[in-house]
Structure 1
Amino acid sequence: MCDTPIQISSDDSESSNDSIKNLPSVDFHSSFSSDNTASSSTNGSRLTTRTTAKTKKKKYAPKTQKKATKKKSVKEKLTEQKAAKTKVQKLNKIYRPGECMKFIEIVMHPTFLDKWYTEDLENEIHMGGVRILSSSDLFEPGLVLWRRSVPSSLVSIYGQVNNTSPEERCDRGLYVITAQDVVTYVCEHTLVRHVAQIRDMADVKLTLVIFGVQDYFKHARKKSKQNNDLVMTEMDLEMAITDLLVSTGCDAVLLDQSIELATLIMHFTKAIALAPYKKAKRECDEQAEFYMRGYNKKCVPVDKDGNGISRLWQQMIAVLPYCSLEKSRALCAKYKTPLALYETLQSPEGVRAVADLGVTRPVIPRSRVRRIGPEFARKLQILFTAEDGNTLID
């Protein structure tokens, strides 16, 4: 081995130093960290793509659910509206005039039709198209009630879904009693208490019907004097009926023939059947500022084919103040429609043309020829051509 040291010349050293200086500087920490960051970025990008996909799914899932719930809610609303519409149509059919009598039933005791004063009742009821329902549950044989058949619906009661009753009880009732049976109540002053008990038990507005009053007053006095029975006078009966009306609010009807009883029951049946329709009609009329159904005087009917329009046009002119029937006939003969009169009155010479129109008068000897006149023609022009609805016609 030689221990001679190696000598480097200055030129060589400078070149070597230059070469060392010119070498690219490499940072091992930075390279290592960059490799790690690259790998982590790739992994992170995968994670972020996965997380974004998951978040996208999470973001869009509630929207689809909301759309589905919205569609369901819209469908449910439509079905509810259809169900409500069909229910209203059925109820309108039940309460409509002409159809309402088919859904009414008269509830009577089985022994009521066997009475001698109800011989014409069954035929009259069948002719009216009403059904009779015999019920032995009635506590009083002379009681007559009504009920209506209605469509049943689902109702939740205390968390349980049940069907409503297909029958609707009416709040009116009749209590039929003969004059012979009412004598004891009138003479003992217990008629008010007896009728009030029946009214409270039936829970209806009751009307007392007393049958055969004239026959009782004709024949009962002689029999009562012979047998020492209770005698009822006409004054006693009137006082008892007045006391009944004042104390309980129950009215009374006196009848003497079986056909009158049948007619009375049918009148009550028709009134009960039409009561909901008339009530709704009255509520609708009360919402208006004036009663439109009262303005039905001198009306002119017009059919589907248009027959009666000319008479209606003539009536429209005749109802104007200071217009006679002859003037309206003359105007309608010249101007067949309101449009023709309107176009004439809009022209500059329209008022003069209408004013010079001749009016035919009845055949009167030595009668002068009349005209419409400028004053009435001017009023017609204001009526037909004024654009302001508050214009006064003086």
Structure 2
Amino acid sequence: MITDVVVLSDSNESSNECVQLNSNNKALPGDSSDFEFPEVNFYHIINEDDVGKSQDADVASCSSNFNNNAPSHQSNNDKHTTSNKHFKQHKVKKLLYDTSDSSSSDEENRNKKRQRKVKNTIGKKSRIQINEEKLKKQEQLTREKALKAIAAKKLKNIKPDECMKFIEITVDKAIANFISVTDVTNTLRDAGVKCTVKTKFISNSITWKRNIENSYVNDDNEICTVTDVEKVSQILVIWNWDEVATKVTNGDFYMSVSSIKCSLPDYKITLVVYGIEDYFAYREQEKNSDKSGTKKKTQKTCTEKYLQLSKHSCNISRKQLETYLNEIQIIADCSSRLINNSQDLALMIYQYTKAIAEIPYKLEKNKNLINKFDWYVMGDNRNTVKVDKSGNGLKRLWQQQLCQFNLSSLEIAEAICSMYPSPAHLIEAYMNCTDDEGINLLKDIPIRRAAGPLTTVRKIGPELSKKIYLMFTSKNGEIVLS
């Protein structure tokens, strides 16, 4: 390594001399300069050993050259050497400090990087968790919406306007022997009722079935619908008048109904006797005709149906038929209807169909009312009284409550309100009375029916007074007022 040293002098010599120091540390040529060499610091990375060697060489050469020419500067050279030693030590300490600082800074950077990685991983995990929670919430909301839609659709399907679409009627073919089935089916289809005709196990019968849409939410939160068929436990059996007359005459009427009941124990049976009114009308005319000429005349003018009636040998009375109908109703739980033409029969079937279709809606309505109240009045939305925040309407409400008692009227309620304007006043009067006085408290209150000189005045009476007293003072909620 070659080091260049520049020597500055203020002597009278013509030129400044430059001295080169080679790598072998040769002695400097003679120089008459009395000045020290200024120290020049180079801020670059060097090897510590090379720095020490170069500085020792420079100091040695400078001291040998300046001993002869400048003995007065010896002390300065000593100072220079000590300063160089301090500089060397400072440099070493600085390098050591720099290395230690660099190592500590590296560790700090590593720690920072680790912390950043941990933060990034935590941030990624938290983001993933947040996204998962958002997805779960969205799925839950979509599922709740789907369930609400299913519930709304179910309520809509059982409403009276929509429930008829899910009912289907099945009519037995054997009914066509005495009834025009096409007239009945066409009337029902015009009313929006599905109707099919086929052979059934019970002859001359009509049954119903309900199509139920069962919806559910699958794993993808999609609404899926499955249609199930539910058989309605109602059956309508239609017998013609001649079959009924024969069974009543032979005594097989009850046995025929009981056999149907045994085959369908869970069904409610309704027996329809078709055309029996014409049979009774014909028998009545036959009894009233005393002359043979009138009989012949009526036979000539009667229709084909009346000819069939005249040929029938069985003779039953209305009283006999009603006795048998009451018997099957009490013993076999079978109701009955008397129908005389196909239009009335179609209307009756439609009424039954509508009643059967509205069964789920009525059951749901009654269930909600029972869950909401311990008791309810069937006409709870009629003749109601509105009371505002200022109390307007309380008197009318008190009168309406008094009108609910049997034997009560608006005039009686107004008479009681004139004496006791609120329930609190009446209860206070009852609290200050004995039982006998309380029972007779209201009986002498006069009732004015109208205004004018012709008005009549009467009293409330002991019966209604007793009922009101029991109502407001009795501790037993099951007690009968009358």
Q: TM-score, normalized by length of structure 1?
A: 0.54
Q: What is the aligned partner in structure 1 of residue 334 from structure 2?
A: 251
Shift in Å, 1:24 = 11
Q: What is the aligned partner in structure 2 of residue 364 from structure 1?
A: 453
Structure 1 residues 106 and 324: CA distance shift in structure 2, 3 A? closer
Q: What is the aligned partner in structure 1 of residue 129 from structure 2?
A: 66
Q: How far apart are the structure 2 equivalents of 1:61 and 1:185?
A: 90
Q: What is the aligned partner in structure 2 of residue 205 from structure 1?
A: 267
Q: What is the aligned partner in structure 2 of residue 265 from structure 1?
A: 349
Q: How far apart are the structure 2 equivalents of 1:36 and 1:274?
A: 94
1:103 to 2:165 alignment: yes
Q: Deviations over 1:128-185 (max 9, x none)?
A: x33223164855554433344555534669xxx9954335525333142425289499
1:84 to 2:147 alignment: yes
Q: How many residues align?
A: 298
RMSD of Structure 2 on Structure 1 (CA): 5.6
Q: What is the aligned partner in structure 2 of residue 144 from structure 1?
A: 206
Q: What is the aligned partner in structure 2 of residue 125 from structure 1?
A: 188
Please say if residues 325 and 336 of structure 2, whose CA atoms lie closer than 8 Å, have aligned partners that are also in contact. Answer: no
Shift in Å, 1:84 = 2.8
Q: How far apart are the structure 2 equivalents of 1:234 and 1:224?
A: 13
Shift in Å, 1:275 = 1.4
Higher RCO (Cα < 8 Å, 6 or more apart): 1
Q: How far apart are the structure 2 equivalents of 1:114 and 1:48?
A: 98
Shift in Å, 1:91 = 2.6
Give the counterpart letter for 1:241 in structure 2: I
Q: How far apart are the structure 1 equivalents of 2:155 and 2:364?
A: 11
* Aligned ranges 1:226-305 → 2 under 5 Å: 241=328, 245=332, 251-258=334-341, 259-294=343-378, 296=380, 299=383
Structure 1 residues 234 and 289: CA distance shift in structure 2, 3 A? closer
1:169 to 2:235 alignment: no
Q: What is the aligned partner in structure 1 of residue 262 from structure 2?
A: 196
Please say if residues 106 and 130 of structure 1, whose CA atoms lie closer than 8 Å, have aligned partners that are also in contact. Answer: no
Match of 2:107 among 18, 39, 44: 44
Please say if residues 318 and 325 of structure 1, whose CA atoms lie closer than 8 Å, have aligned partners that are also in contact. Answer: no
Shift in Å, 1:317 = 6.3
Structure 1 residues 316 and 207: CA distance shift in structure 2, 3 A? same
Shift in Å, 1:43 = 3.7
Shift in Å, 1:63 = 1.7
Shift in Å, 1:362 = 0.8
Q: TM-score, normalized by length of structure 2?
A: 0.45
Give the counterpart letter for 2:352 in structure 1: F
Q: Secondary structure at the match of 1:85?
A: helix
Q: How far apart are the structure 2 equivalents of 1:151 and 1:46?
A: 68
Give the counterpart letter for 2:184 in structure 1: L
Please say if residues 209 and 230 of structure 2, whose CA atoms lie closer than 8 Å, have aligned partners that are also in contact. Answer: yes
Q: How far apart are the structure 1 equivalents of 2:312 and 2:136?
A: 81
Structure 1 residues 113 and 42: CA distance shift in structure 2, 3 A? farther
Q: Any unmatched runs of 5+ in structure 2?
A: 1-77, 284-308, 387-391, 403-407, 418-447, 457-482
* Aligned ranges 1:354-393 → 2 under 5 Å: 362-364=451-453
Structure 1 residues 57 and 110: CA distance shift in structure 2, 3 A? farther
Shift in Å, 1:65 = 1.9
Give the counterpart letter for 1:286 in structure 2: I
Please say if residues 213 and 254 of structure 1, whose CA atoms lie closer than 8 Å, have aligned partners that are also in contact. Answer: no
Shift in Å, 1:89 = 2.8
Q: Secondary structure at the match of 1:145?
A: strand
The alignment-based identity, stated in percent, is 15
